[in-house]
Amino acid sequence: MLYIHIAMKLLRDLDPYFVSLSDFIKRDQMILKVINQPVRFSKFFPLVQAVNGKIFEVVSHEEIPVDLQVFQNFRNNPNSKAKLNDDGWWIWDGKKEWKVGYLSKEQKLFPRHSIVNDTALIEMIEGKWGPDDEL
């Protein structure tokens, strides 16, 4: 935060109409609010490419909460139209994948392993999308 204070002083001296420090404080409070919310869904997203393509920008680097530092299990089915009660499901823990066939009650709660693009991710976030919206 000290860096922001110094940068703000230098920039304000150059341009009196530059944003106020309170704008940065509000932004930081907003970031903390987002970080402290419960996880709505888990998806894979090509962030580096989105940042390099100027689709998204990095606004902060924050520590991952302790309870989210362990990689979670994901479920997947090669049949994209498979329902939760269908056969053919696999579980992936980030390192290995194994076939379980039918999902247990607990495994049905795992997020589906999938990669989304920027348009889908924005729609999911803005549309209050959650794991119940996914097979």
The pTM of this model reads 0.70
Say if residue 53 is in the same domain as residue 12.
no
C-alpha span between 102 and 100 (Å, rounded): 6
Range ranked top by mean pLDDT from 10-14, 47-51, 64-68: 47-51
Say if residue 73 is in the same domain as residue 129.
yes
Q: Tally the domains of the chain.
A: 2
Q: In what order do the strands lie in the sheet with 89-92?
A: 74-76, 89-92, 97-101
Going by pLDDT thresholds of 50, 70 and 90, the confidence category of residue 60 is confident
**Domain ranges, residue 116:** 45-133
